[in-house]
Amino acid sequence: MATINEKRAGRGLRVLIYSHDTLGLGHLRRCRAIAHSLVEHDKDVSVLILSGSPIIGSFDFRARVDFVRVPGVIKLRNGEYTSLNLHIDIKETLAIRASIIRHTAAAFAPDLFLVDKEPLGLRGEVAGTLAMLKSRGVPLILGLRDVMDDPSLLEPEWKRKNVLPAVRDLYDEIWVYGLPQICDPLAGIALPKSVRRKITYTGYLHRTVCNPNQGYVKNLPDEPYLLVTTGGGGDGDALIDWTLRAYEAGAELPYPAVFVLGPFMQPESQTEFLRRAERLKNVHAITFDANMEALMDRAAGIIAMGGYNTFCEILSFDKRAIIVPRTTPRLEQSIRAERASELGLVQMLPDDGVRDVGAMINALRMLPRQKRPSEIVVPGLLDGLPNVNRLMTRHLARPRMRNRFSVASGG
């Protein structure tokens, strides 16, 4: 019954996932959802996640899923990177990261390598690992979210990073965690037909509540509440302030609110928002909860910026939602929200910079009358995880043969 090279000579099947993670939770949470789905689907699979997230240890991982944390980096306002905690040069930090990634891959000896979003990793740190694993015949997969950025911005970015040769010559497949009728993440990029043929749209990644009783919020309202979430929170001040002002205005609103500010919000902003929330009887605020799925599941509706993971959760838990997307430094959230609004899946409230409190109050009052996502028929909308499992199984089931061609292994 074992087969597949006797489950790779009795050691089981191994999947390595890379998530570059500078600031935010999106990449890590997407990779974690995929990892959990894979081990649930196949008891012979183990998954190791490579991540730079400083809070990866705050999350629970299922059996046969673990992580290796590389030194963290953070992107500055001028676009440059710096070490998150170490007082060393960014070049040294990146060299350390690249070495850890390559040596982990060599020791773990994965049967498949899945790279999230960045084809060459942060500043090319995965290039050597890709070449090494390619020489060993390991399938290489690039996973992309449904929306990357405005095509006019993405194409020059990919040219600057020189990622096309890797996408063309190293990667076996490109999995897009979305649907083409919502967005083609590589639209506008002049891709060879050979690369286009590698693309498979999986649908969005369905989320479930792993631990419904676990979380930091112990005194949730007994009545239905709105969940206001900024994801990581590094750029969520405007959404929190705008929504809080609607509650501070004393207007009659359909639900009380639970605010989750985000672990990466500036401490002074967190302190001020928590202070304002304490003055309101119908508002509860916390900085972070690792079990956001449970909060989502219990909420009557969602107010969010509309990052990929939050959008998946809105669909998965069938919640009415108001999306206030950011437009800098990327248009990703705005493109997703606009298309989802056109389909009737969410209500979009653009941030015009003025943030009139009356507009937010009106949006909150309209929320109970919105259709739920399940009332909008979009075939294959939430088939992402079953399709990823199927695609993964197909690769893992193939006997692996060392590449006959000369590819630099990177040591």
List, in order of start, the domains of the chain with CATH numbers. 4-206+382-396 (3.40.50.2000), 226-375 (3.40.50.2000)
The edge-to-edge listing of strands for the beta sheet with 301-304 is 283-286, 257-260, 226-229, 301-304, 320-323, 347-348
pLDDT at 211 over 70: no
- Of 148 and 11, which is predicted with more confidence? 148
- Of 32 and 291, which is predicted with more confidence? 32
For residue 98, the one-letter residue type is A
The reported pLDDT for the residue numbered 13 is 97
- Taking residues 361-380, report their average pLDDT: 97
Reported for 322-325, long-range contacts at CB under 8 A and 24+ positions apart, including other chains, are: 322/346, 322/347, 322/348, 322/349, 322/363, 322/364, 322/367, 323/347, 323/348, 323/349, 324/238, 324/239, 324/242, 324/348, 324/349, 324/350, 324/351, 325/350, 325/351
| Chain mean pLDDT for the chain | 90
pLDDT at 350 over 90: yes
Contact 227, 296 (CB under 8 A): yes
Stated pTM of the model = 0.90
Q: pLDDT above 90 covers what percent of the chain? A: 73
Q: Which two tokens stand for residue 411?
A: 């040591």
Measured from the Cβ of residue 290, the count of other Cβ atoms closer than 10 Å reads 18
For residue range 146-181, list pLDDT tens digits in order. 999 888 888 999 999 999 999 999 999 999 999 998
Give the pLDDT band of residue 45 (cuts 50, 70, 90). very high
The reported pLDDT for the residue numbered 410 is 41
Considering only CA atoms, which of 82, 84, 154, 68 is closest in space to residue 118?
Answer: 154
- Of 358 and 54, which is predicted with more confidence? 358
